[in-house]
Every structure is written in structure tokens, then in C-alpha cells.
């Protein structure tokens, strides 16, 4: 099975197809995954930007009443429909027109500056309070103006930068040590003055501090107020989340206090609904140039792999076929012993086997042809030599033509004619030109006729038949077959013996037996008696006029009638030839 050409072709094609499909699928999934994740990443980034912008608005406004312009600007920039509702579902703003895509059922996020979504804004502070929500810590314009002048002067003097915090407070960047150096170098503009809380900040810090202490008293009534809870310290904490190591309840109270303090100053939490991008061109599965190169390289690799596998398999498949072709060529060139060697299996192995069998048959036929020619030459030589010898003797005056010599010459020419007739019959049989003319006849009559036509001195020839033996056969050829058997029987039965020809019916067959009490045939010779030119005793049978072709012709004629011929024999006791013909 594994060596079947069909199976190997099938397996190869399937393997190549599977490989191609697998690689194509892999490439497609790679490209699609990349493109989808890119798209998703872009969508997520847009979501985060929108969320951040709205969060900034909420941190800076006490309510949502003026958000419409901001929302519309964001919607136009992102190609999204943006809607905000209160927690109870009351619409605050919706940028969608009449044919805008429907909003999703679930909100994208809750916009609450005191509770920032860590997913959409991963850089949010640990306490989730948006740093832009400053509430009562926002400096008055006068304070902001004053501090900015101060900061600019320090920046001029020291060369550091100035950054504005959300509440309007300027800070030095990088921060500098507000030590004596600057107090000396820039006496009027000490950095310490810059970092000192303003009145607004002090008021806000006091408020925050009392909220914090209220909370701490509630949570831990026994706890003494930490002396570090001074206003600037609280202010420092306010500006940054509590330092690591702060007791959890303190941290909890601080963030609670901050939320309580900021809540009236920021917009209440709102549900944000976003549609998928519209209006913006949706990128299809786009193969970047790197992707295209990868596809091309992979395709080339698959092609090379498939080509190599095909070449390997094809050359393995073709090798035995080439061997058969080479053997056929050798045979065509005259090498009668050309054979396919090598361990070919499967269909090609069958082909090689059939070729070798054909080659054997041709060699055998050739051998038979040569043997036949040599046999025929041999058979013709003896009678011709006899005739030529006598005629030369007469010509030389050594012998005279008398009736005795004439009889000898006649007998030899008779042998020659028999031989030629038999050869002609066999040649016709071999060419398929020996035509039968079957007709209904009585086999018993054929037996009687043949027996009546033969006669031998001292050997009684008996016909033994019972009633009519109807069958369809060619009467001339059937007589010829029986005659050959009877001639042989008389020839090989010495005087004193008998030859019996009997005809009988066996089932639907007609059986004609020619039995003699003659010399018999040795068991080793029995398989050869029907071969052409085969004789048990060459000189004797030739002397008695046998061509060595009689039994071969008989066998052919009987088989042409659809019958069989067989022989049983015992040396010294006699032989029985038995023809069986279908009625
Ligand atoms: P032939 O013309 O020599 O008889 P056949 O083909 O008729 O040729 O017979 C082949 C050989 O078979 C004979 O030479 C003979 O040796 C043997 N043979 C045939 N018939 C008999 C028989 N009835 N008894 C003994 N030998 C026989």
C-alpha cells in the first residue's frame, strides 16, 4: 500500500495542500490579529483620550451644564458619538444627530474625577483622585499673580524652570533647596517664600485637616492627634498621595476627607456612552510592507519546500519507471535477456514484473522458434538424404531403378509429405488460421470409419461403440485427431498385441479411447508426448514414418473443439489415449 504510486501521489498532493493551507491560515491570522489589535489599540487610545478630556472638564466644573461644546468638539475630532447621563439615566449631553449610530447599552465608564478609572487612565494616582480637581485650593488671581512674579524672579536668578500646577501655583522645576545659598544670592526672592502656603491654601488645608481629624477620631477615638498634623504637612500630603508606610486608616481618612472637601467643587459622576468610530475611515486588513515581505518570504519558502518535496518524490517515483524504459529499449535493440532489476514495488513494481514476464515469454518463444527451425531442418534432412543418396547411386550406375527402389523412394517422399502437411497444419494453428467447420455428427461413425481405414499385420484393430454418439464437431478434423492416435497405437504395438478404439458417452461428454497393448511410455516421458517433435525413440519412430508432430496436432484440434486429451501408460503393457469432447 505504501508503495502504491497512487497513494504516494495522493499523499504528496494532500501534504502540499495541507502545508499551503496551514501557512496561508497562519499568515492570515497573523495579519488579521496584528491589524485587529492595532485597531483595538487605537480605539482604546481614543476612548482614553475622550475620557481624560471629560474628566478634566469635570474636575474643573461644579456641574455638567456647559459640557456641550467640549463634547461636540471631542466627537468631531474622534468620529464618535458621545453621550453623558447622570447615574439615574437623565441625559446631560448627546452629540448624536438623527442618523447617528445607536449608543451601546452599557456605559464605557463613569466620569468621576474623585474616582478615576484605572483602566482608562493607568497613570492615575493611587487614591484615584484626579490631580486636576483642586477645589478650594485654587489660588485667587491675586495670589497666583504674586507667586508667579516671585517664581519668575527666582527662575531668572537661579536658571531653573517654572511649572504651573492645576491650582495655579507655580513650582520650580527642578525643585531647588530653599536654603541659605539662594537667600544670599537672591535675597529678595527666597524660594522658601514661594513654597509657603497662601491664605487660600491655608484655609483649605485647615478645612481638610479638621475633616481628617474628625474622621480619625471616629475611626480611632483613643488615638492622640499626631503632632505632625500641622497645616503645611497636610498641605504636602494634599499635593501628593500619602507616603508609603502611612497607616491604612490614616490614608483612608485622608482620601475620604479629600473627597468630602472636593465633592462640592467638581461635577457629579456621569455615565459616559461611546459608539464605535464613525465617519473615520475604518482601516481594512492592511499588510504593511514588513507584512508583505513576510508573506512573500513565507510563500517563497513554502514554494521551495513543496518544490523540493515534489522533486524528491517525483525522482523516487520515476526511477523504477526509467529502469523499465531502459530495459524495454535494450529489448528493442535485440537484447532478449533484458530484465528490470531493483526493488520496485507498487504499481511500478507490477509493471516491472509484467515486463519481466513478457520478456521471459518472448525469450521462450524465440527459443521455441529456433528449436522448431532446427527440428524441421533435422526432420527434412533424413528422408531427403535417403532420396538423394539413391538417386545419385542410380546416376552413377551403381544402382538401377527397380520396383523395390521405387517403393523406398515413394515411402521417403511420403514421409516428407506427411511432415509438410503436419507443419502446415501447425503453422495454420499457430496463426489462428485453422478454421473448424462444426456440424452435428455421430462420433461412433467416425470411430468405425477410422478403424475401417487402418490395418496392420498381426495387430487386430477393434472398434467398440454402443449406439449413436451425437455431438457437434468438424468431421474432417475429428477424424484426423482419432487417426493420429490410431496410427500411433498400431505403430508402437508389436504383432500379437491389440488396438481397441471405443466410443462412449460420459455425462454430456463424448469420450473416445484408443487403447493399445504396445510398448507403453515411460512415466518421465509422459509429460512430453504432446510436445512438437518430441519422440521417445527418435530413430525408431522416424523409421516408421512418424513426424513427431501428430500428438501436438491432435491436442490442438481437440482443444479447438473445447475438449481435452490425456494419456495413461504402463511401460511394456500399453497406452491409452482418451479424447473428451463436449457434446
Ligand atoms: P510420431 O510421429 O513420432 O509418432 P507423435 O507426436 O505422434 O509423433 O508421438 C510422439 C511420441 O510419443 C512418439 O515418438 C512416441 O515415442 C510416443 N508415442 C505416441 N503414441 C504412442 C503409443 N501409442 N505408444 C507408445 N508410444 C507412443
Other beta carbons within 10 Å of 343? 8
Q: Whose CA is nearest to atom 23 of ligand 1?
A: 489
Torsion of CA 263, 267, 273, 279, to 10 degrees: -140
**pLDDT at site 284:** 47
Nearest-angstrom CA–CA distance, 309 and 493: 76
> Exposure of 373 by Cβ count < 10 A (0-12 exposed, 13-18 middle, 19+ buried)?
exposed
Average pLDDT (241-251) is 72
- Ligand 1 centroid, distance to 469 Cα (angstroms): 27
Mutate to test the pocket of ligand 1, among 485, 541, 558 (most ligand atoms within 8 A of CB): 541
pLDDT tens-place string over residues 40-80: 777 778 888 889 999 999 998 989 988 889 888 988 888 88
Cell numbers given for 23: 501557512
Atom of ligand 1 nearest to the CA of 536: 16
Atom of ligand 1 nearest to the CA of 545: 2
pLDDT tens-place string over residues 215-231: 888 887 765 556 555 55
DSSP summary character for residue 518: S
Per the document, the length of the chain is: 583
**pLDDT at site 483:** 93
**pLDDT at site 282:** 46
pLDDT tens-place string over residues 76-118: 888 888 899 998 888 888 888 777 778 888 888 899 999 898 8
Q: Taking CB atoms and a 6 Å cutoff, what residues make up the pocket around ligand 1?
A: 488-489, 492, 516, 518-519, 521, 529, 534-537, 541, 546-552, 575
Tell me if 80 sits within 8 A of 274, measured CB to CB. Answer: yes
Atom of ligand 1 nearest to the CA of 516: 23
**pLDDT at site 556:** 92
Helix (H/G/I), strand (E/B), else coil: 151: helix
**Confidence class of residue 300 from pLDDT cuts 50, 70 and 90?**
confident
Cell numbers given for 532: 512438437
Q: Which residues contact 413 (CB under 8 A, 6 or more apart)?
A: 383, 387
Q: Which residues contact 299 (CB under 8 A, 6 or more apart)?
A: 23
Average pLDDT (257-262) is 88
pLDDT tens-place string over residues 430-475: 888 788 899 999 999 999 999 999 888 889 999 999 889 999 999 9
Most confident range (mean pLDDT) of 234-238, 288-292, 357-361 is: 357-361
pLDDT tens-place string over residues 190-203: 667 777 788 888 88
Task: Tell which wins on pLDDT, 321 or 40.
Answer: 321
Q: Whose CA is nearest to atom 22 of ligand 1?
A: 489
**pLDDT at site 270:** 92
Read off the pTM: 0.48
Average pLDDT (534-557) is 77
Tell me if 32 sits within 8 A of 374, measured CB to CB. Answer: no
Tell me if 469 sits within 8 A of 442, measured CB to CB. Answer: yes
**pLDDT at site 579:** 96
Amino acid at each position: 500500500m505504501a508503495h502504491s504510486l497512487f497513494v504516494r501521489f495522493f499523499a504528496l498532493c494532500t501534504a502540499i495542500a495541507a502545508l499551503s493551507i496551514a501557512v496561508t491560515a497562519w499568515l492570515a491570522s497573523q495579519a488579521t490579529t496584528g491589524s485587529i489589535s492595532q485597531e483595538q489599540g487605537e480605539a482604546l487610545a481614543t476612548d482614553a483620550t475622550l475620557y481624560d478630556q471629560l474628566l478634566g472638564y469635570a474636575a474643573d466644573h461644579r456641574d455638567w451644564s456647559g459640557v456641550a461644546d467640549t463634547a461636540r468638539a471631542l466627537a468631531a475630532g474622534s468620529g464618535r458619538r458621545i453621550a453623558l447621563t447622570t447615574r439615574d439615566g437623565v441625559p446631560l449631553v448627546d452629540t448624536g444627530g438623527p442618523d447617528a449610530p445607536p449608543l451601546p447599552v452599557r456605559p464605557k465608564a463613569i466620569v468621576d474625577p474623585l474616582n478615576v478609572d484605572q483602566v482608562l487612565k493607568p497613570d492615575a494616582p493611587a487614591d484615584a483622585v484626579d490631580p486636576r480637581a483642586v477645589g478650594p485650593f485654587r489660588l485667587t488671581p491675586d495670589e497666583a499673580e504674586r507667586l508667579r512674579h516671585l517664581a519668575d524672579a527666582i527662575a531668572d536668578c537661579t536658571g531653573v524652570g517654572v511649572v504651573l500646577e492645576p491650582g495655579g501655583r507655580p513650582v520650580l522645576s527642578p525643585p531647588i533647596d530653599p536654603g541659605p545659598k539662594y537667600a544670599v544670592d537672591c535675597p529678595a526672592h527666597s524660594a522658601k517664600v514661594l513654597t509657603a502656603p497662601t491664605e487660600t491654601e491655608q484655609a483649605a488645608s485647615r478645612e481638610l485637616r479638621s475633616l481628617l481629624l474628625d474622621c480619625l477620631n471616629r475611626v480611632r477615638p483613643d488615638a492622640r492627634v499626631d503632632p505632625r498634623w500641622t497645616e503645611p504637612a497636610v498641605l504636602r500630603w494634599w499635593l501628593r498621595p500619602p507616603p508609603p508606610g502611612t497607616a491604612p486608616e490614616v490614608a483612608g481618612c485622608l482620601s475620604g476627607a479629600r473627597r468630602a472637601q472636593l465633592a462640592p467643587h467638581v461635577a457629579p459622576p456621569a455615565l459616559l456612552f461611546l459608539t464605535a468610530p464613525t465617519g473615520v475611515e475604518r482601516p481594512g486588513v492592511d499588510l504593511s510592507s514588513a507584512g508583505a515581505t513576510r508573506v512573500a518570504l513565507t510563500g517563497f519558502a513554502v514554494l521551495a519546500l513543496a518544490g523540493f518535496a515534489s522533486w524528491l518524490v517525483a525522482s523516487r517515483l520515476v526511477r523504477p519507471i526509467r529502469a523499465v524504459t531502459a530495459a524495454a529499449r535494450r529489448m528493442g535493440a535485440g537484447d532478449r535477456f533484458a530484465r528490470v532489476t531493483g526493488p520496485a514495488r507498487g504499481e511500478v513494481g507490477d509493471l516491472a514484473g509484467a515486463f519481466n514476464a513478457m520478456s521471459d515469454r518472448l525469450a521462450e518463444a524465440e527459443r521455441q522458434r529456433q528449436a522448431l527451425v532446427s527440428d524441421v531442418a533435422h526432420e527434412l534432412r533424413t528422408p531427403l538424404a535417403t532420396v538423394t543418396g539413391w538417386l545419385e547411386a542410380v546416376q552413377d550406375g551403381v544402382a538401377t531403378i527397380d520396383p523395390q527402389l521405387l517403393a523406398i523412394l515413394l515411402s521417403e517422399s511420403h514421409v516428407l509429405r506427411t511432415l509438410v502437411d503436419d507443419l502446415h497444419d501447425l503453422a495454420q494453428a499457430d496463426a489462428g488460421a485453422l478454421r473448424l467447420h462444426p456440424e452435428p455428427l455421430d462420433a461412433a461413425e467416425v470411430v468405425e470409419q477410422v478403424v475401417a481405414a487402418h490395418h496392420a499385420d498381426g495387430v487386430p484393430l477393434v472398434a467398440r461403440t454402443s449406439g449413436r454418439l451425437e455431438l457437434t464437431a468438424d468431421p474432417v478434423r475429428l477424424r484426423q485427431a482419432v487417426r493420429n492416435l490410431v496410427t500411433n497405437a498400431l505403430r508402437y504395438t508389436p504383432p500379437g498385441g491389440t488396438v481397441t478404439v471405443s466410443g462412449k458417452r460420459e455425462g454430456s461428454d463424448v469420450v473416445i479411447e484408443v487403447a493399445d497393448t504396445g510398448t507403453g511410455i515411460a512415466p518421465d516421458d509422459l509429460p512430453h508426448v504432446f510436445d512438437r517433435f518430441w519422440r521417445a525413440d527418435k530413430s525408431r519412430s522416424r523409421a516408421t514414418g512418424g513426424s513427431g508432430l501428430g500428438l501436438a496436432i491432435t491436442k490442438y484440434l481437440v482443444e479447438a473443439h473445447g475438449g481435452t486429451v490425456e494419456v495413461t501408460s504402463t511401460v511394456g503393457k500399453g497406452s491409452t489415449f482418451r479424447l473428451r469432447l463436449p457434446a
